[in-house]
Structure 1
Amino acid sequence: MGGGFLMGSSYFYMEFLFAWVSSLKQAGFRNPALFALEYTLVPDAIYPTQLVQTVAGYEHVLSITQDPSRVCVGGDSAGGTLILSLLLYLANSPGYEIQRPGLAILVSPWVTLVSPKNHNTRSDYLNAESLHLYARQYAGSSASLNDPLVSPGMCKDLSWWSRAVPSAGIVFYYGSEEVFCQEIRDLAALLEQTGRVIQAREEEGLIHAWPVATLFLSDSKAERQKGIKEIVQVTWGCMNRNFGSKERSLDAVLRFNVQSGISVAGALLLAKSLRELAVAIEALDRNAQINGKKQLENQLASAQWGIPKTFPTTTIFNVNVRPELFLFTLSMRIHMALSEIP
């Protein structure tokens, strides 16, 4: 949870958390569970109390799941700071046997607590000067704001970050009009140099923690759920890929209409390492059934194949796939066909 280390609670995020777990179930996760850490706020405690509590919370989750690859850690704003600090801590602690999690979802993380790049915008509700004051209160007199465990953006060590990034990567969600925008961009660019999977999803014209803000403030259901649905879609793809790397099997049903067809290709690309995958794609094409790898491969290779300009009915492709390269090729061909739609 966010709040500048001195305000907020998991209760404030309750509606967001309920909406999140509901969307996870709708997406096909069989038994999703969310663990919300209630860490001590400033001035009742300062660093490193909050990091110690975050590590303890992660240990508790691992004691239940018994498998770090099944765990996605996440946070917004100051909560995102603590997740980055957690990842760095786990990666640089000799003898500490906790393994890194499967995935990290960071919504507008407060990357560098005090930075000239944290500047006010006309749209965002945050104030850089106030945030820098909160940062100094969080660090207290004994900790340094140059310490990466206090302020993760201060870490420029690629080898440290390479050990810290979760096995399925890190996904950043943030707005182009928020105070932290440039620092988030810079960190994402740095982490990409590690060769790990890094996704930086900058939403044009939006503000700090926009997936949370839109849920609370938007008028329509679609707008309220936009951020959560995007997070769930990416989580599905990333976590399934992570399972595939361990040669687990998983049945996935991805259903999108043509307006979100690019997301189909993206989801397939993310899932390309799964050994066994049943994929159902609703593409609003001609009414046809194509079953089996060879038939579909031939159909895709045909010059006749493509998505028509009109979409009167529905096509469902049912594919049982084992070779990874076939699924990769399939996703690229779908992407190319959809890109031709005016």
Structure 2
Amino acid sequence: MHGIISELSKKQETTSDENEQQRISIRGRTARKMVKVANHFPVLGNKAQNGELRARLSEREKIWVCPEHLEKKDIEMTNFNMELIHNKEQEKKKGIILQLHGGGYYGRLHNTYRDMAALYNEVSKGFDVLSVDYRVAPKDPYPAALQDAVEAYKWILDNDYPSGRIFVVGDSAGGGLTLALCLYLRDKGITMPAGIVTMSAWTDLTKSGESYQENFDIDPMFGGSTHTLVYKEGYFKDSDPNDPYISPINGDYTGFPPMLLQVGEYEMLLSDTLTVAEKAKQVGVTVKEHVYPGMFHVFQMGLTRIPESKEAWVEIGRFIRKVKKE
């Protein structure tokens, strides 16, 4: 992935077949179809949608090979582990990105997120990336994940990173956890990060947003079934799902740093992002929400393989470089 910035900046591949197809790339449309097939395949599809398949694959995946220009350090905390990615070619700490992975609060950290960590390092031009393998349900329901995220953030503050160059990022459940973490930091008077990035953030665990109905039939990952991860309640268990630390859509965003919120047009979780963006804007927060036409849940996992994902990563890099403070 070293030197990927130049590749990311290339002209995006597009198609001009039909009206709907004009807005998205051939590869993006193909990827969306592949996601739908994988998540609706008999037996296997059910396991993919409810998180069972991901849990099994995470346990059996190969050891991740760290790019040569990076080094990975494993950090053991009391209740969880973390992984720090650092660029060998620099001595000074440029800044740090705290990555909170997705997985519906059931999935653990896996190799795709290590690839994403390397790409975060690249688009930020050398920021360290701290990925948190936080505790998950059903064994460890709320507030375990939030507690681990708080401890990870405090670790950053204790390790002399420039306060104006700390970013918190997350996708899906990790996006919701990102916002919950920052709500907690603000409420407790702890130094906030310089900026926030979310991808397809899951902020409404009550599933009350309009897109849960409007996009039910077109969402290639969670649509067409009520047996997917978004319908599992083992994370909040006996807690109130309306609690802002569980469903950040109900939070007050006063005092938040600039935010970049990315989401796909075809997602059931679309309203999760749009509602948070609107609430934050109403209290004066600088927010850039970007709805990617025709895209699906966390399409950014395509890294550099599909044009829309490339565009999203370029946007993330620009956001970080613009918001960071000396």
Distance (whole Å) between structure 1 residues aligned to residue 217 and residue 287 of structure 2 = 26
CA, structure 1 residues 148+223, in 2 after alignment: closer, same or farther (shift >3 Å)? closer
* Superposition map of 1:133-152 within 5 A: 133-134=231-232, 136-141=233-238, 143-152=239-248
- Structure-1 residue corresponding to 2:33: none
- The question of 1:83 aligning with 2:178 is answered yes
- Sequence identity, in percent? 23
CA, structure 1 residues 224+203, in 2 after alignment: closer, same or farther (shift >3 Å)? closer
* Superposition map of 1:1-342 within 5 A: 1-25=101-125, 31-93=126-188, 96=189, 98-117=190-209, 118-119=212-213, 120-127=216-223, 129=226, 130-134=228-232, 136-141=233-238, 143-155=239-251, 160-163=252-255, 165-166=256-257, 169-212=258-301, 214-215=302-303, 218=306, 225-239=310-324, 243=325, 248=326
**TM-score of the superposition, structure 2-length normalised?**
0.63
* 2:220 alignment partner AA: D
Which structure: greater helix fraction? 1
Distance (whole Å) between structure 1 residues aligned to residue 304 and residue 106 of structure 2 = 21
| Structure 2 unaligned residues grouped into runs of 5+ | 1-100
Distance (whole Å) between structure 1 residues aligned to residue 185 and residue 222 of structure 2 = 30
Judge conservation of contact 2:108–2:133 (CA < 8 Å) in 1.
no
Distance (whole Å) between structure 2 residues aligned to residue 234 and residue 66 of structure 1 = 19
Distance (whole Å) between structure 1 residues aligned to residue 308 and residue 282 of structure 2 = 34
Judge conservation of contact 1:114–1:132 (CA < 8 Å) in 2.
no
* 1:74 alignment partner AA: V
Distance (whole Å) between structure 2 residues aligned to residue 192 and residue 50 of structure 1 = 27
**Superposed structure 1 runs of 4+ greater than 4 Å apart:** none
Distance (whole Å) between structure 2 residues aligned to residue 54 and residue 180 of structure 1 = 22
Which SS does the other structure have where 1:105 is aligned?
strand
Deviation at 1:226, TM superposition (A): 2.8
* 2:262 alignment partner AA: Y
* 2:150 alignment partner AA: V
Distance (whole Å) between structure 1 residues aligned to residue 167 and residue 230 of structure 2 = 29
Distance (whole Å) between structure 1 residues aligned to residue 308 and residue 281 of structure 2 = 30
* 2:170 alignment partner AA: G
CA, structure 1 residues 202+64, in 2 after alignment: closer, same or farther (shift >3 Å)? same
CA, structure 1 residues 90+196, in 2 after alignment: closer, same or farther (shift >3 Å)? same
RMSD (CA atoms): 1.9
Deviation at 1:228, TM superposition (A): 1.5
Per-residue CA distance 1:202-258 (angstroms, 9 max, x = gap)? 11111111212x22763xxx565332222111211122xxx2xxxx5xxxxxxxxxx
- Structure-1 residue corresponding to 2:65: none
CA, structure 1 residues 43+216, in 2 after alignment: closer, same or farther (shift >3 Å)? farther
Which SS does the other structure have where 1:110 is aligned?
coil
| Structure 1 unaligned residues grouped into runs of 5+ | 26-30, 249-342
After TM superposition, the structure 1 stretch with the greater mean CA deviation from structure 2, 106-115 or 60-69, is 60-69
Deviation at 1:8, TM superposition (A): 3.7
In terms of Rg, which structure is larger?
1
Aligned length: 220
**TM-score of the superposition, structure 1-length normalised?**
0.60
